[in-house]
Structure 1
């Protein structure tokens, strides 16, 4: 694990037999303690890892994954903690690793289906018609909400030569539509772009004038725009 601000730089060994060994390290002394043994299971969609031991059990969300790096998150009360990992050949702390290196290694890589599992369908809602259509900021289309042949609504954004768009975690809270959006590129020169493989939390809220408030949470900051239905 890339060191945290408090110096903790634990190493976790995931074994093929379903055992996970956590080796505690701190960059202030780098003395390894006895490993803590747990079991682990990976969700079928690859989006989370469940850790269980006699003392506790918890879930780690997989935010990014690549052959040599991954980023995990854990929910603690109302705060999400993130942990960056690099795949190594031996048990040793990464105290010299530059900040953010692991997350960037995981993000700046080609998209794989396990990186983000698309689930764009909207649950049923009595005011669904209010959201259907193509929504834009000025002349730029941000998203569409369509119906499939079976009449079920889903989020959609057409791909372009640079970007593809995916959605999941779609849910209603009252009349507000919450979901996670995700974009990625097939072009290696765009892998370093902030939009490549970076999930964004989105909320759509109806306004009295028939438009939608468009709230995006990016790196903990909330940005607001107004969407207008174009068709």
Structure 2
């Protein structure tokens, strides 16, 4: 795709992100979250990993990157506008007007949709604190060719059980973000054992191991994979991330943290 298309994929994970905050163009009257700041794209299959800045003056600066071939293209400056209901974004670039659907926005993550002909595309961004592409994710996927295949039992040993701890009940619950989406669960099975769990979605399955206590932190390794062949080349297919749960003062909230590369991201989740 041309560099002037602001394509940045997230997760959702991710939504992995840095702590940079901003104020300016809000997405709706009810939602105070702003898109002002710097956003990086998870690399696409062709290596594109652009970074874009949104300013509180309604300007956007696109920094084109390609993890596969590099990039010497200049920064592209444009204007952007968010609709009154916060559901659409328009980019007024030198190449013309581009329209996006704003699917979701959180403090550190954003997901956009775009129609190209008969295709509906979905892209996600993560907020970062500097203009730098997330090529480590692309290089990780390229280096391990076995990732681009169906899941096999030897890829990850599922062992989600939580070691005994007198305070484990504090961690039990279905922990959801502000949008009401469950990010992780600590559940008790019929044999009075506790485990880390997350229900499979249409696209992703979740496995866990190396569950352990480190002071007040409940640490674990999270592995995600897809059964859909079209997602085998996705950066998060067969990905493994260190994550942890840490209690806060409010008993109905918990801090959920995880690492993407060497960057740590923190969220406060609510007990459902």
Q: TM-score, normalised by structure 1?
A: 0.55
Q: Secondary structure, in 3 states, of the residue corresponding to 1:203?
A: strand
Q: Secondary structure, in 3 states, of the residue corresponding to 2:149?
A: coil
What is residue 106 of structure 1 aligned with on the other side?
Answer: 146
What is residue 264 of structure 2 aligned with on the other side?
Answer: 222
**CA contact 2:209–2:221 (8 Å) conserved in 1:** yes
What is residue 37 of structure 2 aligned with on the other side?
Answer: none
Structure-1 separation of matches of 2:244 and 2:141:
30
**CA contact 1:119–1:168 (8 Å) conserved in 2:** yes
**CA contact 2:141–2:235 (8 Å) conserved in 1:** no
Gaps (5+ residues) in structure 2?
1-138
Runs of 4 or more, structure 1, over 3 Å off, are 99-102
What does 1:50-69 align with in structure 2 at a 5 Å threshold?
Answer: none
**Alignment root-mean-square deviation, CA:** 1.4
What is residue 209 of structure 1 aligned with on the other side?
Answer: 250
Structure-2 separation of matches of 1:106 and 1:170:
25
Gaps (5+ residues) in structure 1?
1-98
Structure-1 separation of matches of 2:225 and 2:234:
9
Q: In the alignment, does 2:156 pair up with 1:116?
A: yes
What is residue 193 of structure 1 aligned with on the other side?
Answer: 234
Q: Which has the larger radius of gyration?
A: 1
1:167 Cα deviation (Å)?
0.3
**CA contact 2:141–2:147 (8 Å) conserved in 1:** no
What is residue 137 of structure 1 aligned with on the other side?
Answer: 177
1:163 to 204, 223, 228: 204
What is residue 153 of structure 1 aligned with on the other side?
Answer: 194
1:102 Cα deviation (Å)?
5.3
What is residue 74 of structure 1 aligned with on the other side?
Answer: none
Q: TM-score, normalised by structure 2?
A: 0.47
Q: Secondary structure, in 3 states, of the residue corresponding to 2:145?
A: helix
**CA contact 1:127–1:175 (8 Å) conserved in 2:** no
1:212 Cα deviation (Å)?
1.2
Between 1 and 2, higher relative CO (CA 8 Å, sep ≥ 6) is seen in 2
